[in-house]
Structures are given as C-alpha cells and as structure tokens.
Structure 1
Amino acid sequence: MDALVSTEWLAGELGASDLRVVDATYFLPSDGKDAAAAYEAAHIPGAVFMDLAELADTSTDLPMMLPTPEKFASRMQSLGLGDGSRVVLYDSSPYRTSARAWFMLRTFGAHDVAILDGGFAKWQAEGRETASGKEQLRHRHFTVWADSKGVRTLDQMKANLDTGAEQVLDARSAARFSGEEPDPRPATHAGHIPGSKNLPVGELFKPDGSWKRGDALRATFEGAGIDLAKPLVTTCGSGITASVLAFGAHLLGNEAAVYDGSWSEWGADRSTPKAMGAA
C-alpha cells in the first residue's frame, strides 16, 4: 500500500478483511465545529472515528502532545485497529489532520498506514457512497510500542541551535512565522525558532485539495530553502500541521522528525531565543 492512496483505489479495497478506514478529522475549539458529529452525519462506509483531541497527553498544559504508548494502544484496540491492519486515514479538516494521525500511528508502531488523497471532500465530490451513525467496533490487539526517533523535544531543539545538524521547517502562516501577526495563545511570544525556514502548509496542495506530487512537491520544499537530502525537523503551532510537512517530506524520501511541542512550547518558554522577520 502506498503512503498516499486514491479514492478509486480505496473504493476497490473497501470490505477487505485487513483494511481499516479511519476518519481523523479535528477542528480547533475556535472553529465552532464538532468533528464527531460531522463523522456521524456522513463518513466513508466502515470508517471509525479517531478523536485526536482525546488522543493527547493530559498531564501537560501544552496542546496535542503525544499520549503515552499505553493510552494510544488502548484507544486503537477499542477502535478495532490492530497488529497487521492496513490503515487508511482521511479527514475533512482545513488542517489536514489525517497527517497527525499518520505521524502518531507510525510513532507507536503501525507501519502499513496511508492517507487518502483529497480526503472526504474528494470522496463526496465523486458521488461515492457514504454512511451515517456509528460503526460497530470490534476490539483488536494493538501492541504497546513506541519509537521516538521521529519526535523532537525542547532540549533537542535547543541543542540543534548550536549544532545546526537538522534543518527546521515551520508550517505556520508567513505572518505568524515573521511575528507580524501575534500568536493566538496567551503569554506566547511571536516569531519563530532562530534559523528555521517557513513553508505554510497550504502550499503542499493543488487547488482541488489533492497533494502535489513528484517534482512539483519537491520544488515547494526547495523553494522554502530545504535540502531534502539532509535531516529535517518540522514544527508549527501545536504539532498538527508540522505532521503534514513531515508527510510531504516522506513522500519525497525524507523521514523528517516532528517537534511535538512546537511553537506552543517554544514561544511560551522564556528561556528560548525567538527570531522575527522572514526566513
């Protein structure tokens, strides 16, 4: 299974015994939308709803930090996602949140994970079948496991300021990155991590909402000053759209890491240096 699959491919695979389809839509509280209610109103037949808001570390004030491996495995088991499952993720969020689910699943040991190109919007636009209500869930075993090599911490990001070993790429808007626009979180400084580059996440997509591919996608990263042959860490506001950049890099063969705390951690920490202006 490719990392990015088409609606046509998924339609042909629906019903396969090892296939699990997951709606990973997430909205910010300020959006005033209910992702769970939207799922129950309409979803791809057989799809289960992964609640990203609930799949977070509740022991920290930082938003959307990775949960413990035990909590993640327990939630996956209850959704019927188990060892040996092929998982296809989709969303209907402007933040492309299926990429955050992809990052989490890979971090916690699932390997056969893909994202549906164009998401639920493309599925619906093509007039494909949808279902409503909740799906019947069957518990499956998901081994508790974690690999932190794709996750960066605050201390690692501070150390990288001195070594420059890894390129840092920020998915936020140009105005947020430059500091022209204040951060929406209280007591969080404006600006960006010194030395980081900026690639607003929307630039990875075509006008129809599908992913850029091949040379077009590569040119987007290179236009932001990134050498995809070198190590890369992605960041954003809270680790969600950073995961989108990481998925885009993955499509081009670069296994980028994600700074999980992102700007909500760095920008609120008084000990970290902040830069202003364009990259």
Structure 2
Amino acid sequence: MVTISEKGYPLVSADDPKTLVSTDWLAAHLSDPDLRILDGSFYLPTEDRDPRAEYDAAHIPGARFVDINEISDARSELPHMVPPVEKFISRMRSLGVGDGHQVVVYDGAGLFSAARLWWLFKLMGKSDVAVLDGGLPKWQAEGREVEDLPPVIRDRHITVQRQAHLIKDVTQVAAASKIGTPQIVDARSAPRFRGEEPEPRAGLRAGHIPGALNVHYKSLLNDDSTMKETDALRAVFEEAGVDLKKPVITSCGSGVTAAILSLALERLGHGQHSLYDGSWTEWGSYGDLKVATG
C-alpha cells in the first residue's frame, strides 16, 4: 500500500529496498542469507582511480565487484551500453546473484555509478535492488567494517524479463526532441549542457539535445552524496521546468549519471521514465543531429 501525502504525492520510506537504503539498514541486514552486495564503482579517466584495485583493498563484507564497462555490449563502439540479456545472466550467475536475492549496490564516489547498475537490474526485470545511500564513503566515515577478502560465491539461477519501455535509442529520442514529448532531461552540468565547456570525450560537439531540460545530477544530492529528501527532489525537477506528471527520458554523457535522475524519479513515484543509453556520446558524435546551445 502506498501512503499519500497531504499534497497528493506518494510518500517513500527512507529505507526502500527497491530504490535506496541507508547504511543503518545495510548494517542491520548484513548477515541476511539472501542479501547480495555489489560494488559498482566507476570513475571518469580524469579522476585517475582504479575501481577494481580499490575494491580489492577494501570493500563492504561479502561484496562482489561489477565492472560496468565489462558488463556491457561489446559489439557497440559506445561506452558501457546495455549488454545482451544472455551476457547479463551469465555475469550475474558468475557473481552468485539470482532469483530471490535482495541486491544492494554501492560505489566509491558516494552515489554515482551505483545508480546505473540499479537501473540495469530494473531494465532486466529485477525489482528487489537498492542503491546504498552515500555509498562506501559514508559507510567508512561511520567506522563500519570493511574487508579485503574475496567473497564465497555459489551459482544461483536468475530469471530475466527485459523491460523495453525503460530504455530509449537515438531514433526515439530524436522523435521526442522534435515532437516535445516525452520530456528529455539531461544530467550533465550546466556549462556542458549550454555548450560552454568542451566535452571530456574527444570528437564530440558541445551543447545539448534540442528541447532538453537540465537537471545536474549533483543538484539531487546532499553534500555527503546522499540523495535529498523527496520534497527537495521534487523541487529541483520542478524548478528546472520538468512536469512530473508527464513521461521523462533521462540522458547524460554516457548513460551513467542519467540513472541518478531515474533513481530520483522512481523515489518520487514517477512511473513513466526511461533512459537514453547512448546519451550525449552518441548524439554529439552524429553530425546530422541538431545541437542546441545556451
């Protein structure tokens, strides 16, 4: 049963195993036999960080490492595109993640790439998946236990039902840009969105998809990289001109931080959001697609 606020909005628990859980929640459930914890850390090349090495040095007890660059479509020239269903199944089984498991995903930035892995699970029809609010930095700042031991993995069957409505390709996004619906919301920073800063990937034009709105993903987070309360999230979207009663396509540089917007929309009970997987890396490289600036 969904509780509704006085303003008619659905109220989401601070600990929701289908979207976001606190470090207190994870600590209380750490020994649950059907809990699976995944380290989905990913960093931009400019950050000069090695997520696998950091995982090997220290991770939440029992956590398994997932490389979003590896669990992707190797046939695509675009970075970390959604993998074929068969590859997702294979990688999850090798990690001992399957049906009946409650999955919690975290990353070493606080709340960054973990949302992408959450969205990928959701795309594959798995709903019992949550992001750890504040991630590994908050966990460690609170003095909680970490380890450097490899997990004991047992194969587990996993059933997948791809939810095609949660993902959009360039043709669908181009149609939305032209028609004006669904709304396209870009998670990149305002200077990148306006075309005032060059893109970090070589060869990409600067600017944004015509008609898109801008909600920088960091505007949805607190200073400690935890996600803001739902009323604050709603205010950020509305101040950017997003109509939360209408469908939304989230986008960003390469489909990672767009998932933070998707997670926030899910927290708000917005059931009509999808993600543009190719994002600006795809759009900005096609010379025949229009680009807006300013």
Question: Who is 1:261 aligned against?
Answer: 278
Helix, strand or coil: the match of 1:234?
strand
Pairing of 1:114-193 with structure 2 (within 5 A): 114-193=130-209
TM-score (norm 2): 0.91
Deviation at 1:248, TM superposition (A): 0.7
Deviation at 1:143, TM superposition (A): 2.1
Contact 2:21/2:130 (8 A) holds in 1: yes
Report the CA distance shift for 1:2/1:94 in structure 2 as closer, same or farther (over 3 A). Answer: closer
Contact 1:43/1:131 (8 A) holds in 2: yes
Contiguous gaps of at least 5 residues in structure 1: none
Question: Who is 1:57 aligned against?
Answer: 73
Residue-by-residue CA offset, 1:53-109 (whole Å, 9 max, x unaligned): 101111111111111010011001101110111101111136710000001011112
Aligned residues: 277
Residue-by-residue CA offset, 1:113-137 (whole Å, 9 max, x unaligned): 1111111111111111111132122
Report the CA distance shift for 1:177/1:95 in structure 2 as closer, same or farther (over 3 A). Answer: farther
2:136 maps to a residue whose letter is F
2:104 maps to a residue whose letter is V
What root-mean-square deviation, in Å, do the aligned CA atoms of Structure 1 and Structure 2 show?
1.2
CA–CA separation in structure 1 for the residues paired with 2:127 and 2:82: 18
Residue-by-residue CA offset, 1:197-243 (whole Å, 9 max, x unaligned): 11111111111221101211111111111111110010001000001
Helix, strand or coil: the match of 1:120?
helix
CA–CA separation in structure 1 for the residues paired with 2:190 and 2:62: 39
Deviation at 1:138, TM superposition (A): 1.4
Contact 2:110/2:134 (8 A) holds in 1: no
Question: Who is 1:31 aligned against?
Answer: 47
CA–CA separation in structure 1 for the residues paired with 2:90 and 2:44: 24
Helix, strand or coil: the match of 2:87?
helix
Question: Who is 2:10 aligned against?
Answer: none
Contact 2:208/2:280 (8 A) holds in 1: yes
Deviation at 1:166, TM superposition (A): 0.6
2:47 maps to a residue whose letter is D
CA–CA separation in structure 2 for the residues paired with 1:274 and 1:258: 19
Pairing of 1:264-275 with structure 2 (within 5 A): 264-275=281-292
CA–CA separation in structure 2 for the residues paired with 1:58 and 1:31: 24
CA–CA separation in structure 2 for the residues paired with 1:9 and 1:144: 27
Paired-residue identity, %: 48
Question: Who is 1:10 aligned against?
Answer: 26
Report the CA distance shift for 1:264/1:95 in structure 2 as closer, same or farther (over 3 A). Answer: farther
CA–CA separation in structure 2 for the residues paired with 1:209 and 1:29: 20
CA–CA separation in structure 2 for the residues paired with 1:81 and 1:203: 32
CA–CA separation in structure 2 for the residues paired with 1:261 and 1:33: 24
Q: Aligned to 1:106, which of 106, 111, 122? A: 122
Contact 2:96/2:153 (8 A) holds in 1: yes
Contact 1:95/1:240 (8 A) holds in 2: no
CA–CA separation in structure 2 for the residues paired with 1:268 and 1:95: 28
CA–CA separation in structure 2 for the residues paired with 1:185 and 1:15: 42
Contact 2:176/2:184 (8 A) holds in 1: no
Contiguous gaps of at least 5 residues in structure 2: 1-16
Alignment pair present for 1:241 and 2:250? no
